[in-house]
Amino acid sequence: MISTILIIGGGQAGAQAIDTLRREGFEGRIVLVSEERELPYQRPPLSKKFLSGELAADRLPFRHQSFYDEHRIELKLGVRAIRVDPAARRVALSNGEEVRYDRLLLCLGAISRQLTCPGSELPGVHYLRSLPDVPGIREGLKPGARTVIIGGGYIGLETAATARKMGCAVTVLEMADRVMNRVVASNVSEYFAHEHRTQGIKLICNTRVVRLTGGARVERVVCADGSIHEADTLVVGVGAVANMQLAAEAGLGCENGIIVDEYCRTTDSAIYAAGDCTYHPSLRFEMRVRLESVDNAFEQAKAAAQNLLGRPTVHDRVPWFWSDQFDNKLLIVGLSQGHDQQVTRGDPATRCFTVCYLKGGELLAVEAVNHAKDYMAARKLIAERARPDLDKLADPLVAMKDTV
């Protein structure tokens, strides 16, 4: 009988698992161990409205304390899991406690990839992942502050847009030849690069940071071409890696993330994992993936909770992602890897267009710029493995849902 479920990690996945476990009628003991001091909270606003100060800290938590009290959730916040002993089904905590579990759910998330160039260890080199990272960055985003962002991915560009709106003089340094190069088509990159430049951001691609210099704190960024960028404030957003050390040390299979099957089970039958930390199979896309996504954390945690209760539930959703930059909303659904065809619907000049990816005639993924309708319709079509008519797909006057 399962009487204790221990969840490590209080992000989106951990919070959702708690919710599903109780909604599904689990009456046993639920313990949440989170090294963060806050109640489980939303991360997406950290680079946007929370960074700018528009959204107060009390609006970040998913649930109030009363929810956890009412549902008898033992919260151990500000506590780190030090060691998992799968044989004894026991976890040692940083506060000296040990918790015995019948089932363990790891929702460990991801950690920011760190710069390694000389000067990376200087004070004032900020990363943006968790709530405590924000005040230090926000303090530096004063009007006119020379703000350098290393990395032109989601975090970098969202932070750049927020800093610019706050009146900073913003420079974005991207190593690749275009922004968000790993996640969007080149015309979507071009569109967003143009938007950022129009807003007054200095965006430099094809540039490699080789050194950070300064005295008591970082003051400038030196690139391979010799260019020097003065930085009153510096934020690094160069990707993330799975937080899997705890799992690896426990002997669980890890590769790019914690390896789980479609039932969210790790290589130990009493231990499950969900969210950014997992390397999991996607049946729909026929590959293993590690996703940094609110949606995946949410859905995988839901499935994991069912499986923890002994109700076999496959996690195989079409993932989706979004990003807000200035007044633009980028909505992505599906995974474009392996596509053999690409179709753009609409003209980027209208600020509303959609890039569609197909493989063998099946719709695989869609990147919609300010186009909610295309995006929502595509979510359905991709899940159904629909084969849209290419002429209709290329015609923005034909609704996405009517392309099949």
Please name the residues in contact with 127: beta carbons below 8 A apart, sequence gap of 6 or more.
112, 114, 133, 235, 236, 237
Q: Does 295 bind another protein (CB under 8 A)?
A: yes
How far is it, in rounded angstroms, from Cα 263 to Cα 280? Answer: 9
- Fill in the per-residue mask, 45 to 84: x = in contact with another protein (CB under 8 A), - = not in contact: x-------------x-xxxx-xx--xx-------------
The amino acid sitting at 68 is Y
How far is it, in rounded angstroms, from Cα 228 to Cα 109? Answer: 34
Interacting span for another protein (CB under 8 A) from 78-86, 122-130, 308-316, 374-382 = 374-382
Pick from 10, 315, 379, 403 the residue near another protein by CB under 8 A.
379
Q: Does 372 bind another protein (CB under 8 A)?
A: yes
Of 255-294, binders to another protein (CB under 8 A) are: 294
Nearest by Cα to 26 from 97, 80, 90, 102: 102
Q: Does 373 bind another protein (CB under 8 A)?
A: yes
| In the complex, least distance from residue 315 CB atom to another protein, rounded to whole angstroms | 14
Interacting span for another protein (CB under 8 A) from 38-46, 259-267, 272-280, 387-395 = 38-46
Beta bridge partners of 7: 32, 105
Q: Does 331 bind another protein (CB under 8 A)?
A: yes
Pick from 36, 195, 292, 324 the residue near another protein by CB under 8 A.
324
Q: Does 329 bind another protein (CB under 8 A)?
A: yes
Q: Total number of residues binding another protein (CB under 8 A)?
A: 29
Classified as helix, coil or strand, 364 is strand
Nearest by Cα to 195 from 371, 370, 394, 374: 370
| In the complex, least distance from residue 329 CB atom to another protein, rounded to whole angstroms | 7
The amino acid sitting at 303 is A
Q: Are 187 and 93 in contact (CB under 8 A)?
A: no
Q: Does 232 bind another protein (CB under 8 A)?
A: no
- Whichever of 67 and 263 has its CB closer to another protein, that residue is 67
Please name the residues in contact with 94: beta carbons below 8 A apart, sequence gap of 6 or more.
35, 79, 80, 81, 82
Q: Are 211 and 118 in contact (CB under 8 A)?
A: yes
Of 135-164, binders to another protein (CB under 8 A) are: none
Binding site for another protein (CB under 8 A): 19, 23, 42, 44-45, 59, 61-64, 66-67, 70-71, 294-295, 298, 320, 322, 324, 329, 331, 371-373, 376-377, 379-380
